[in-house]
Amino acid sequence: MALFLRPNAVRTALPRELIAACTISLQSLQCRNFSVLNRPPPNYPGHIPLTRIEKAGLAVGSAIMALRDPFRGDLIAALGEATATPYFIYRLHDAMLSSPTGRRILKDRPRISSKTMSMDYLRKLPENTVGRAYADWLDREGVSPDTRSEVQYIDDEECAYVMQRYRECHDFYHALTGLPIVREGEVALKAFEFANTLLPMTGLSMFAVTTLKKKERERFWKIYLPWAVKNGVKAKEVINVYWEEELENDVEGLRNRLGIEKPVDLREIRAKDRARRKAEKEAKERAGDTLGIN
């Protein structure tokens, strides 16, 4: 007679323990069947589900290649996504949930690009504003807000947005700190981001310090790493800044509210260093001419 019972009736008739065991077994089977040849459907547009082995391979490969070429944004992005789970992106997500502003950002899901922000408008803002500082930094560095890759490898849809938000806010961190996009500046900013966000990619990116010149390494260890650790740890979570609402506010006021001290101007230091080396070279050449060496 049980063969003719409706499915709901069968479910009711079976012991709960048996139903639970069957459900767990089915879920385990589905997990085991997840492979390169049998991927689950994407959780959001552009999502590419990866196995753990694939994520590990992506992390190692992108880390090695990014160390060789730190300006490959696609490699940095892949490294960030491959190493953000299972813990770190959820910690950042929880940080947003614990903040009223962070919760609003998660609800509104704003995006940062030249389509959502008028560069002409930002350039016309007073010099002391956040928006003007951002626009000036983009112009000075020759950077566009449209260069950030779309998140692909984070499975949770909302956590994928958190990573996208972090990625698109990166240039605001540059503008807030004044650090340029030269390798030395990127390493310093990544150190700050690691202390503030704990994303592994930002910490791994600091290995690029080994590729810096001797003087640059000395500056990093003496000036910028101490600054990054101190400010990254004590500052509020920068992921919770609603930048779109801060554009007309005073940039120094925002630094004070976040608890961030602007570091020594790296571009100025590098310019003085170049001028000093040039002067020394010219002095040697003049000395050589005087002695009749040249």
* Better-scored residue on pLDDT, 45 or 24: 45
pTM: 0.81
Is 171 annotated to bind ligand?
yes
Q: Is residue 63 one of the residues assigned to a domain? A: yes
Tens digits of residue pLDDT in 222-232: 999 999 999 99
Tens digits of residue pLDDT in 44-57: 999 999 988 989 89
Q: Is residue 98 one of the residues assigned to a domain? A: yes
Tens digits of residue pLDDT in 191-204: 999 999 999 999 98
SS3 assignment for 71-88: CCHHHHHHHHHHHHCCCH
Is 186 annotated to bind ligand?
yes
CA angle 194, 196, 198 (to 5 degrees): 45
The boundaries of the domain holding residue 57 are: 52-263
Tally of domains within the chain:
1
pLDDT for res 76: 87
Q: Is residue 198 one of the residues assigned to a domain? A: yes
Q: Is residue 104 one of the residues assigned to a domain? A: yes
Q: Is residue 277 one of the residues assigned to a domain? A: no
Q: Is residue 281 one of the residues assigned to a domain? A: no
Q: Compute the average pLDDT of residues 248-252.
A: 97
Is 47 annotated to bind ligand?
no
Q: Is residue 40 one of the residues assigned to a domain? A: no
- pLDDT band at residue 213, thresholds of 50, 70 and 90? very high
Q: Is residue 165 one of the residues assigned to a domain? A: yes
SS3 assignment for 16-38: HHHHHHHHHHHHHHHHHHCECCE
